[in-house]
Structure 1
Amino acid sequence: MNFTLPLTIPAAGTAIRHQDKILLTGSCFTEHMSSRMEQLRMDVLANPSGILFNPESVADSLNAYIDNRAYTTGDLFCLQEIWNCWDFHSDFSATSSAAALDLIHSAVSGAGAFLAGADWLIVTLGSAFQYFTTALAGEAGRGVANCHRAPGQWFEKRLLPVATIVDTWRQLIGRLQTYNPKLKIIFTISPVRHVRDGVVDNNRSKARLIEAVHTLVATYDHCSYFPAYEIVIDILRDHRFYDVDMIHPNYAATQYVWERFADTYFTADTRKLLGRIQDIQTAWHHKVRFPDTEAHCRFKASYREKLLQLKEQYPYLDLEEALAYFSSAS
């Protein structure tokens, strides 16, 4: 008896190598995938502008990186003594406009340089709803990526049409091809439900994202779709795969999505290497009750040898911090 629906994911035309540079951007689900890649010593840059949910804001952020856009005080607003930018997460807010602009310019220039040399761009879209400022915000009709807890009267909420999303991303994909011809793009839809929109409107929103993304993937050979949304919503639909809020996927769910992603996009050799790195990560963070014993010294020596073998086989790996730990006296 089967207790889950079958889901066959087509093999990727091009595999991700461990040494590839990967830029991830989009919703909070991006954080789950990027954190696993970082733990496995992959070269990643995640959400340079902070968490972004709607496709227009994600596209605008990528255009900003390509242009190395120069933001000015006119792009900021001050609310309750904090300077913010509508295009960025509150991680880029500060108590002075100069400090906020420094954070923003550092992020934009760094992301632009990384994107120019990246092998992969992984885009996770969360919602087709976008908020636009009203005149009460000082400027009417500006699309925002983050509302920064400003008064609700400052915004108008709109559900973006599929045609608008597709047109924006077609233009952006053309620019990305010129900016970095080797870049390959993986689209995913976040499985996190935006329940504040209501269950019905959340489904309308996700449907528009899915339709837009599949239109793009059918158009461009270097774009693909990974069904993270379908894995969680249709395959892992039991409540035991959700956090206590019954909205966000829990560790078991995100780990399963990660494993399916690895099976789809990583070569067998890369998966084997990731297993070796994960073994070292687990040993490194293992809580030791008796660090002064001979047994623990032998344990550390064995992992030091494993690390040296990895460094010899894969010189690009950054293993210095782990090597220092396993080389230290207990």
Structure 2
Amino acid sequence: MQFHLSFPVAPLSDAIQYDHELLLMGSCFAEEIGEKLAEHRFNTLVNPHGILYNPLSITKALTSYLDGKVYTKEDLFLHNDTWHSWDHHSRFSGLTPEATLQNIRQMQAAATQAMEKADWLVLTLGSAHAYVLKENNRLVGNCHKVPAGNFYKRLLTVDEIVTALDNMMHRLFFRNRKINILFTVSPVRYIRDGVVENNLSKAVLLQAVHHLVNKFNRLFYFPAYELVIDDLRDYRFYKEDLVHPNELAINYVWEQVVKTAISAGSQELLHSIADINRAARHRPFNPESAAHQQFRRLYATKVQQLMTAHPGLQLEDLLQQFQ
């Protein structure tokens, strides 16, 4: 008897390589995969606006990089003695406008530069539900715990998502001739919107993404949503909140990313780095023992060999740890 539905994930025709530069944007699931990529020493920039859930806010952030936008105090507001930006996650918020703007401008500059050079833009769409300020109809990327009565909540349409992303991508492809875009839909279940409403939201996102992927040659889709919802399909793969995929699920999706989205040559290097990362996390019972000193010398040599073979890899911190 078969109790598990699995399905093949088609490999990317133009897979990710170690010499590629990656920009990841979107929901908290983008951060989970971005953390894995960074851990394995890919050149990544993750969520320079912070976590964003709806595709229009993600598109607005990307457009700000294309425009070279410089945020000013007029873009901020004060709430609960803290300065916030409606376009950014609360991790950019600060006690003074100057502190808030410093963090925003620093990441804005990094994102603008990354977009110019990126080989891959990975967009993880979380929800088609968006929040709009009642006072001026402004779309917000984060509500910053401002009372719900200040917002309208609405479900974005497929057409407006497609139009917004389409317009942004035409500008992006003109600016960066080599960039590819990999879409994913977050498997996080936003049950605060309601179970039925969450499913409707995901359906809108999936329809919009597949419309775009079928339209452009440089757009791809990775089924992170389907791997968790249809392949794993069990609450034991969620955290206690029953909303966010747990470590087992994230690792399972990551394994599929490696198999299908990373080039064969880079997979070999990735596994070597994974082995070194495991060694770096090892905590010996007796750090001064001869066996552990030999262990450290062995892995210091492995790191040096990788650095010689791949000069672009940033492994100096690992080398210092083993030395």
Give me the TM-score of the superposition, normalised by structure 2: 0.98
Deviation, structure 1 residue 6: 2.8
2:128 counterpart of 1:122: no
From 231, 240, 243, give the equivalent of 1:244: 240
Deviation, structure 1 residue 3: 2.3
From 276, 286, 289, give the equivalent of 1:290: 286
The whole-number CA distance in structure 2 between the counterparts of 1:13 and 1:280 is 29
Deviation, structure 1 residue 281: 0.5
Q: How many residues align?
A: 323
Which residue of structure 2 aligns with residue 187 of structure 1? Answer: 183
Could you say what secondary structure the match of 1:130 adopts? strand
Letter in 2 for 1:98: E
Letter in 2 for 1:112: T
Could you say what secondary structure the match of 2:208 adopts? helix
Deviation, structure 1 residue 49: 0.4
From 305, 311, 323, give the equivalent of 2:307: 311
Q: Where do residues 213-232 of structure 1 align in structure 2 (5 Å cutoff)?
A: 213-232=209-228
Structure 1 residues not aligned, in runs of 5+ = none
Q: Which deviations, in whole Å up to 9, do the C-alpha atoms of 1:255-293 show, x marking residues without a partner? A: 010111111111222111111001000001111110111
The whole-number CA distance in structure 2 between the counterparts of 1:113 and 1:8 is 36
From 191, 202, 207, give the equivalent of 1:206: 202
The whole-number CA distance in structure 2 between the counterparts of 1:112 and 1:45 is 11
Q: Which deviations, in whole Å up to 9, do the C-alpha atoms of 1:94-152 show, x marking residues without a partner? A: 111122122111111110001110100000000000000012xxxx2000000000011
Which residue of structure 2 aligns with residue 173 of structure 1? Answer: 169
The whole-number CA distance in structure 1 between the counterparts of 2:252 and 2:299 is 27
From 153, 158, 167, give the equivalent of 1:157: 153
Could you say what secondary structure the match of 1:6 adopts? coil
2:69 counterpart of 1:69: yes
Which residue of structure 1 aligns with residue 109 of structure 2? Answer: 109
Deviation, structure 1 residue 11: 2.1
The whole-number CA distance in structure 2 between the counterparts of 1:11 and 1:284 is 31
Deviation, structure 1 residue 60: 0.3
Give me the TM-score of the superposition, normalised by structure 1: 0.96
Q: Which moved more, 1:61-70 or 1:49-58?
A: 61-70
Could you say what secondary structure the match of 1:215 adopts? helix
Which residue of structure 2 aligns with residue 53 of structure 1? Answer: 53
Deviation, structure 1 residue 294: 0.5
Could you say what secondary structure the match of 1:219 adopts? coil
Q: Which deviations, in whole Å up to 9, do the C-alpha atoms of 1:223-254 show, x marking residues without a partner? A: 00000000000111112111111111111111
Deviation, structure 1 residue 312: 1.3
Runs of 4+ in structure 1 deviating by more than 6 angstroms, as ranges, are none
Which residue of structure 2 aligns with residue 12 of structure 1? Answer: 12
Letter in 2 for 1:149: K
Could you say what secondary structure the match of 2:106 adopts? helix
2:259 counterpart of 1:263: yes
Could you say what secondary structure the match of 2:83 adopts? strand
The whole-number CA distance in structure 1 between the counterparts of 2:175 and 2:92 is 26
Percent sequence identity is 43
Q: Which moved more, 1:312-321 or 1:207-216?
A: 312-321
Deviation, structure 1 residue 320: 0.8
2:118 counterpart of 1:147: no
Q: Which moved more, 1:67-76 or 1:158-167?
A: 67-76
Letter in 2 for 1:63: T
CA RMSD of aligned residues (A): 0.9
Structure 2 residues not aligned, in runs of 5+ = none
Deviation, structure 1 residue 24: 0.4
